[in-house]
Amino acid sequence: MEITQILFWFLSVLAVFGALMMVTSKNPVYSVLWLIVVFFAISGHYILLNAQFLAIVNIIVYAGAIMVLFLFVIMLMNLNAETEPQKNKWLKIAGVVAGCSLMLVFVAALRQSDELLKAPVSMGGETGLIKTLGKTLFTDYVLPFEISSVLFLSAMVGAVVIGKKGD
């Protein structure tokens, strides 16, 4: 096995394990910490795919900023196992059945299609650099890029309006 393959399996196992631990943890603070592990594992995958910039952004934005925000909210609200609302038993069963069915369909669909899935395109080390990314973003994808600026503007306006409720 090559080193990249070993890394791939290591990161995949880490990501799945982290995700499972995140869902099953009783304490919400542990959940957030495990989610950070998942984000780091996924950033590792990005690096393996030569998307260095994306990996760094993923760590800075998701693992850094957003998760810290999550931690603050959870600590301020003082959530723990006692305050967690009890869910209906049937709702839980329905959720498990629905989730398992989705998983079954997905696995079955993947099993039948593996020969059709394209072999991973190996890209050069240059692909994920900011320079290449910026060039593509401002040539081929300039329209969605500009529209997302309008999206952020309107989201900001909406947030300000909701936030000004008091006066």
Partner 1 sequence: MSIFFLLLQQELLLTAIIFVLLFVKLSTKQWNSQTVLSFVNILLVVNLAAGFFFKEKGTLFGDMFQTNDLLRFEKNILNLGTLLISLQAYNWLLKHKHAIEFYLLMLSTLLGMFFMLSSSNLLMFYVGLELASIPLAALANFDLDKKRSSEAAMKYIMSSAFASGLLLFGISLIYGMVGSVNFTDIAVAASENPLFLFGFILLIAGFGFKISAVPFHLWTADVYEGAPVAVTSYLSVISKGSMLFVMTSVLSTVFANLLFQWYNIVAVLAVLSMIVGNLFAIRQQNIKRFLAFSSISQVGFILIGMSGANIESHSSVVYFVLVYLFSNLAAFAVINVISEASGKENIDDYKGLYKTNPALTWVLAIALFSLAGIPPTAGFFGKFFLLLGGASKGNYLLIIVAALNMVISLYYYLRIIKAMFMDANETPVEKLAISWSPKISMAVCMAGIVVTGIISGAYEYIYSLLK
**Which residues in this chain contact partner 1 in the complex, by CB under 8 A?**
105-106, 108-110, 112-113, 116-118, 140-144, 147-148, 150-151, 153-155, 157-162, 164-165
Could you tell me the smallest distance in angstroms from the CB atom of residue 73 to partner 1?
A: 15
Could you tell me the smallest distance in angstroms from the CB atom of residue 140 to partner 1?
A: 6
Could you tell me the smallest distance in angstroms from the CB atom of residue 3 to partner 1?
A: 25
Contact 66, 57 (CB under 8 A): no
Measured from the CB atom, the residue of 76 and 117 that comes closer to partner 1 is 117
Could you tell me the smallest distance in angstroms from the CB atom of residue 160 to partner 1?
A: 8
Measured from the CB atom, the residue of 75 and 155 that comes closer to partner 1 is 155
Measured from the CB atom, the residue of 27 and 136 that comes closer to partner 1 is 136
Measured from the CB atom, the residue of 1 and 121 that comes closer to partner 1 is 121
